[in-house]
Amino acid sequence: MLDVLVQAAGLVKRYPPRDRHGTPFTAVDGIDFVLRRGESFGFLGPNGAGKSSTMRMIACVSPPTAGSLRVLGMDPLTQGREIRARLGVVPQDDALDRDLTVLENLLIYGRYFGLPKPTIAARSAGLLEFAQLAGRGDERVDALSGGMRRRLTIARSLINEPEILLLDEPTTGLDPQARHVLWDRLFRLKQQGVSLILTTHYMDEAEQLCDRLVVMDKGHIVAQGSPAELIAAHSTKEVLELRFEIGEQDKAVAKLRDAAIRDRLEELPDRVLWYTAEGEAALAVVHQIGLRPATAMVRRASLEDVFLALTGRTLVD
Amino acid sequence: MATADAMALRAYSYWILRYRRTWRGTVVISIANPLLFLVAIGVGLGRLVGPDAAALGGVDYLAFFAPGILAAAAMQNGIIEAAFPVAVNRGPGGAYPVAAGTPLEPEDILHGHLLFMASRVVLSAAVFMAVMVAFGAARSPLVLLTLPAAALTAMAFALPSAAWAVTLTDIRPVNGIFKWVVMPLYLFSGTFFAVEQLPSVVRPIVYATPLWHGVDLCRSLSLGTVSWPLALVHIAYLLCLCGVGYLMARRLYRRHLHA
């Protein structure tokens, strides 16, 4: 079995201008990465970073403009059919047929892969069980909740028993409980040996699901590694978050800069972040220099901080 | 890997399954509406038109009008079956991107959908033709050939419509097509009255429009007055439209589904 599932080198995606006066838009600007079997891999970045374009190229529905890309050892330009036959795709908008029933949606999708009807029926039963939709096979998709529809979309993507599952922002738009159920299902898939590739702009999701992460910004890869490696390399162990009364933040920051000479301070519109090895010690200093923040919180550094450190911007505006 | 034909059939099976759920809603617009026209205008209004009026070529109005509305309804069905579903299904959440993520290529998705459009327009035209014959509006056994003629007319509109609709990011322009293309063609292509009744300066414009070729073909077959060289010109014209529409659709499906 092949160990490298996806390999990209100098991968570029440029879209033609929308009209005569427009300019071409470079969504992905020369990226390199390698994805190995059994690994779960995440593309992290804000909207417009180039994540979805990269996913579309891997899914063989968007030809690369330049550079090389191999998926399952094959060339997407000439062997798209063969590659797609072994991929599972979970689009962000569920793209289920709402006029059809749950089972009919699975049937149609299985037919696209040329699976015989008895095979589809047998797999559907297991997949509905897995998606916690058992007993709902004959309901119209219209009647399902958002979380159920997303789980059905995942079930559908597994009908061809794919080796790689591509998920585009799998939990965007779901409530917290539905997200946790979904993470649990994806984690099980991972344990069964399916390689996950996902895009997200949620840090907690990336930390939950990804063994390795690529942080993208404006079409470039700005960092890659495991969540822990990224935090170690681009952030401190702890973060002190301070909020001040309206109009007092500027004065407070000036004082903090004198106190926290060796540490990095990050000023956001609504709060100040102090990156430090010892959050409690930093808070003691804040009180010592006579500052009275409205709220103060010490927390562990997260990928959000990594992104902020790398790009100077937060992920979700 | 399966052949391209088998791939197209996989795409076709989606539309068939969908149709089994939604066919009731399509009956009104594609079959009932043209039949109401046939009865209200062909039978009702037709009584007011003198029989054997010279401009109608010596037949009663119903016999003149029925094959005309058959062709006009075929045009309308061709556009309805192509423009709306393609514009709706090409975008996010539609059936096309879903199918594009599977082993199907954009061409397979196009072929499967075209096959379904053809099934639909043939079915509607067959029902209409049967009613037309039952009303005694046909004058020749050649009326049976109006079925392929109407289907060809429908596809001559469906193929370019599909090619155009796959480029749309919003379905509003499709309504414009009905106002600015379908309505004028419906009224002025010899459906309701002979083109010879129009001023001579306008006639060449009508002869250049595709619906007139469909109308004249269907009418000359139904009345048994067909002149085969002219019929071949009609067929060639409509086939040309199909061919150009198909080639454009192939290119544009690939460009938009594999952007």
Q: Per residue in B93-141, pLDDT tens?
A: 899 999 999 999 999 999 999 999 999 999 999 999 999 999 888 999 9
The reply to whether residue B14 touches residue A112, judged by beta carbons under 8 angstroms, is yes
> Residue range A54-76: average pLDDT?
96
In chain A, the domains with their CATH numbers are 4-231 (3.40.50.300), 236-300 (3.30.70.980)
Q: Which residue has better confidence, B27 or A131?
A: A131
| Whether ipTM exceeds 0.85 | yes
Q: Per residue in A281-308, pLDDT tens?
A: 999 999 988 888 999 999 988 888 888 8
DSSP 8-state assignment for residue B184: H
**What percentage of chain A carries pLDDT values higher than 90?**
57
- Mean pLDDT rounded to a whole number for chain B: 91
Whole-angstrom Cα distance, residue A214 to residue A317? 20
DSSP characters over A251-316: HHHHHHHHH-SSSEEEE-SS-EEEEES-HHHHHHHHHHTT---SEEEEEE--HHHHHHHHHSS-S-
**Closest residue in A to B16 (Cα–Cα):** A108
H-helix or E-strand spanning residue A165:
strand A164-168
Instruction: Tell whether A277 is within 8 A of chain B (Cβ).
Output: no
Would the pLDDT of A134 be above 60? yes
Q: Domain of B102? A: 4-257
Instruction: Tell whether A87 is within 8 A of chain B (Cβ).
Output: yes
User: B233 to each of B57, B212, B216, how far by Cα in Å?
Assistant: 21, 12, 11
Residues with Cβ within 8 Å of residue B105, at least 6 apart in sequence: A80, A81, B7, B254
Instruction: Tell whether A62 is within 8 A of chain B (Cβ).
Output: yes
Q: Structure pTM? A: 0.89
- d(CA A79, nearest CA chain B) in Å: 10
Would the pLDDT of A56 be above 80? yes
Provide the pLDDT for residue A164.
95
Contact residues, chain B to chain A, C-beta under 8 Å:
1-2, 6, 10-11, 13-14, 17-18, 21-22, 92-95, 97-105, 257-259
SS3 of residue B78 by DSSP: helix
Burial class (CB in 10 A: 0-12, 13-18, 19+), B77: buried
User: A192 to each of A189, A255, B191, how far by Cα in Å?
Assistant: 5, 53, 65
Q: Which of A63, A84, A104 sits opposite B101 (nearest CB)?
A: A84
**Closest residue in B to A95 (Cα–Cα):** B93
Sign of the CA dihedral with B81 first, then B155, B38, and B133 last: negative
* Confidence at A228, pLDDT banded by 50, 70, 90: confident
Provide the pLDDT for residue B4.
79
Q: Name the one residue in this structure whose structure tokens are 């593309």.
A: A43
Provide the pLDDT for residue B222.
96
Burial class (CB in 10 A: 0-12, 13-18, 19+), A244: buried
> Residue range A261-288: average pLDDT?
88
The reply to whether residue A89 touches residue B101, judged by beta carbons under 8 angstroms, is yes
Would the pLDDT of B1 be above 60? no
Domain count, chain B: 1
* Confidence at B2, pLDDT banded by 50, 70, 90: low
H runs (alpha helix) in A131-192: 146-157, 176-191
Least-confidence region, from A48-52, A312-316, B163-167, B201-205: A312-316
- Mean pLDDT rounded to a whole number for chain A: 90
Residues with Cβ within 8 Å of residue B12, at least 6 apart in sequence: B111, B112, B113, B115, B116
Q: How many CA atoms lie within 13 A of B221 on its CB side?
A: 25
Q: Name the one residue in this structure whose structure tokens are 């092949």.
A: A2
* Confidence at A136, pLDDT banded by 50, 70, 90: very high
H-helix or E-strand spanning residue A103:
helix A102-112
| Highest mean pLDDT, choosing among A201-210, B122-131, B152-161 | B152-161
> Residue range B25-30: average pLDDT?
80
Q: Which of B21, B103, B259 sits opposite A62 (nearest CB)?
A: B259
φ and ψ of A197, to 5 deg = -125, 125
